[in-house]
Structure 1
Amino acid sequence: MAMTPTSDQLVEALRPVEDPELHRSIVDLGMLRRAEVSADGVAHILVALTVAGCPLRNEIQNRVTSAVTALDGVDSVDLEFTVMTDDERAALREMLHGSPGATAGSGHAHGHAEGRAIPFSQPGSKTRPLLISSGKGGVGKSSVTTNLAVALAAQGHSVGVVDADIYGYSIPRMLGTDRKPVVIDEMLVPPEQWGVRCISIGYFVPEGEAVVWRGPMLHKALEQFLTDVYWDEPDFLLIDMPPGTGDIALSLSQYLPRGEVFVVTTPQPAAQKVARLSAAMAEKVNLPVRGVIENMSWFTGDDGKRYEIFGSGGGAELAAELDVPLLGQLPLV
């Protein structure tokens, strides 16, 4: 007959269990409040959720139950949930993200008139900000951003996406997630799908409602996406840029001085010429253009033949003009 596990053994069995949103151990996060096994083999577990109505409660329950029942001497699990207090959430936010006051700087920090520091602009940050730009709408920039993000995540990288196309947001729909971010003491925890964390204005406005904002509100939203979201220092942060070279594009270039620009175009000469303007803006604000991606290059018909319905050569011509590589040509599927 197996011996009854001690509380310490139970805690160690639960240490590898991570909160599915924060990707940290529930033990290290202070979520585990009780862990003991009674003489009849029942493990009594109490877990404090970060917020009431936690959308991933069932996932936490499954992970905890699986970890505990794997222990010899545990026959069943009695798992209960409680919710963190406001003070506990504030302490959790400070542990993960720093206190709000700690991010206030000298007034010269990148990205905020009041000096709030943007972590991705700081020397030593491991995150590579990739700005996916086009200059022209309708070339499939958002689909390229989404597919690139998912592909990077599939290779084992940690990836975040900022949907900076405030007026034409589409990333949440493309990723297939409509779950709103969780708010922990003013810190936004972005939803995750396919291994990609994403923040978008689309999570905060009703379906079908237009965003009618002037410049200051746009800048405030972008600033919050970069400073108030728990990104947990991803390997890559992809920015789905809005079309054109307006205020948002200029602000993002200032917010992310370490950003690298990738230009999306189609084979059409008109799209290629407008995409050149977004590259010209990147050059003016000293952001390197790393390459060109040609989208909608062709489609393959039922007869097996390739049809270049938008012409050919636009991406290669733009890449040659910018003296950067043509990174890929994506077909219509």
Structure 2
Amino acid sequence: MSPNPIQNQLPEALSGQVLEILAQQIDPYLEQNLVEAGIVRSLDIDGRCLKLGLAYPYPCQSKYRQRVMGLTNALAKLEAIEEVECEIDLQVPAITAAGQAPQVKGVKNIIAVSSGKGGVGKSTTAINLALALAAEGARVGVLDADIHGPSVPIMLGVKEFQPVSTDGKTMEPAFAHGLAAMSIGFMVSEDQATVWRGPMAAGALVQLLNETNWPDLDYLVIDMPPGTGDIQLTLSQQVPVAGAVVVTTPQDIATADARKGITMFNKVNIPVLGIVENMSYHICSQCGSKEHPFGSGGGQATAERYNVPLLGDLPLNVAIREAVDSGNPTVVADPEGELASQYKSIARKTAAALVTLSEPSGLEIEICEE
């Protein structure tokens, strides 16, 4: 990231001292200090009160309090400052996707959630990732691209929703738990099979994407079909995907397929933001012991092999399954719980990886002229 100009209304000597301290504060996700990362946007002084303006390029709302306290303690050593007022904003940059696919109206960034095979919890991860990004302060939508097994309507509790058009050109998405959502499942009955060949399915999904009247979104999370076949390749080429998250479980057969998914994204020049290892371990409800029923280390080994981050490892937990089956996923069912905290951590890492792997565009900061 290139640093942004800072509105600075401090005396020169104090300004240097403040910036020196801020340059020592490292953002844990961007791995840059606050000044280099362009997070510091304004410095002002009112008597002995320092007014600090920050703007994060990735959602991290749950960490605001902790970070303000850390900055306040760091700046307290300056005699000229008695109090620190910190205003924090979220300004997610639009990342330019590889390829020639046109950008989707109103959507800044598209993140594809993929898996090499079915049954690894990809859709559950996609929904909770989207909800976690929203919980951290972003505007988020979900597109269910699993044409043969759409699950978003059930997971978000909007099975009865039917899209309508107010302008005769676009469809209105469903809204649930703060997310905008679209799925082929809204257009077919729950027990009706969509027996479509690859090109037809891919074409329908691209149409769903482009003909949905999405609100202004920081992120659109696409729940991709499992595998690396024709549908996945077509979508990767025709949809402006800024980055991908690959979901796997620890066992060898799953990580082997996950590696194929990473290879596919590499071939179409879509950055892999990281790997999520699902069903990584199980905590015994009786004795509290940690077990690895599907083996261990597969996600980490795959991440190291392809030089991508391991975004997180999630447990095999019946509460996660019960939550999505009821249409009330984990992040909203128990927002302060440990599982929600893990999903939020994955969301912060995913969004920050998107910033660090790509060059942000359209970020304009007004320069204060004295």
TM over 0.5: yes
Q: Which residue of 1 aligns with 2:277?
A: 294
CA distance in 2, matches of 1:239, 1:317: 26
Q: Which residue of 2 aligns with 1:170?
A: 151
Question: Aligned in 2, Cα 1:208/1:128: closer, same or farther, shift over 3 Å?
Answer: same
SS at match of 2:217: coil
Q: Which residue of 2 aligns with 1:204?
A: 187
2:150 aligned partner, one-letter code: Y
Name which structure has the greater RCO, CA cutoff 8 Å, separation 6+: 2
Counterpart among 139, 162, 186 of residue 169 in structure 2:
186
| Contact 1:253–1:259, Cα closer than 8 Å, also in 2 | no
Counterpart among 213, 216, 221 of residue 233 in structure 1:
216
| Contact 1:257–1:287, Cα closer than 8 Å, also in 2 | no
| Contact 1:160–1:234, Cα closer than 8 Å, also in 2 | yes
Q: Which residue of 2 aligns with 1:131?
A: 112
CA distance in 1, matches of 2:188, 2:268: 32
SS at match of 1:290: strand
CA distance in 2, matches of 1:268, 1:146: 23
- TM-score (norm. length: structure 1): 0.62
CA distance in 1, matches of 2:311, 2:199: 35
Offset, 1:261: 1.0
2:260 aligned with 1:277? yes
Offset, 1:216: 3.5
| Contact 2:199–2:231, Cα closer than 8 Å, also in 1 | no
2:216 aligned partner, one-letter code: E
Larger radius of gyration: 1
User: Mind listing any 5+ residue stretches in structure 1 that lack a counterpart?
Assistant: 1-108, 112-116
Offset, 1:148: 0.5
CA distance in 2, matches of 1:223, 1:309: 38
Counterpart among 109, 125, 136 of residue 155 in structure 1:
136
1:304 aligned partner, one-letter code: G
CA distance in 2, matches of 1:257, 1:202: 23
CA distance in 1, matches of 2:243, 2:103: 16
Offset, 1:169: 1.0
CA distance in 1, matches of 2:241, 2:313: 26
Q: CA offsets per residue over residues 4-39 of structure 1, 9 Å max, x none? A: xxxxxxxxxxxxxxxxxxxxxxxxxxxxxxxxxxxx
Percent of pairs with identical residues:
49
RMSD: 1.7
CA distance in 2, matches of 1:263, 1:293: 6
| Contact 1:142–1:240, Cα closer than 8 Å, also in 2 | yes
Q: CA offsets per residue over residues 257-288 of structure 1, 9 Å max, x none? A: 44201111101111001110010000111111
Q: Which residue of 1 aligns with 2:316?
A: 332
Offset, 1:110: 4.6
Equivalent pairs counted in the alignment come to 216
| Contact 1:180–1:203, Cα closer than 8 Å, also in 2 | yes
| Contact 1:118–1:255, Cα closer than 8 Å, also in 2 | no
1:136 aligned partner, one-letter code: K
Offset, 1:255: 1.9
| Contact 1:282–1:288, Cα closer than 8 Å, also in 2 | yes
2:257 aligned partner, one-letter code: V
| Contact 1:136–1:275, Cα closer than 8 Å, also in 2 | yes
Q: Which residue of 2 aligns with 1:8?
A: none
1:208 aligned partner, one-letter code: D
Q: CA offsets per residue over residues 53-81 of structure 1, 9 Å max, x none? A: xxxxxxxxxxxxxxxxxxxxxxxxxxxxx
Q: CA offsets per residue over residues 228-275 of structure 1, 9 Å max, x none? A: 101123100111111111122112111234420111110111100111
CA distance in 2, matches of 1:247, 1:231: 26
CA distance in 1, matches of 2:279, 2:239: 29
| Contact 1:131–1:238, Cα closer than 8 Å, also in 2 | yes
Counterpart among 245, 250, 267 of residue 267 in structure 1:
250
CA distance in 1, matches of 2:130, 2:164: 21
Structure 1 runs (4+) greater than 3 angstroms displaced:
none
User: Mind listing any 5+ residue stretches in structure 2 that lack a counterpart?
Assistant: 1-98, 318-370
| Contact 1:268–1:314, Cα closer than 8 Å, also in 2 | yes
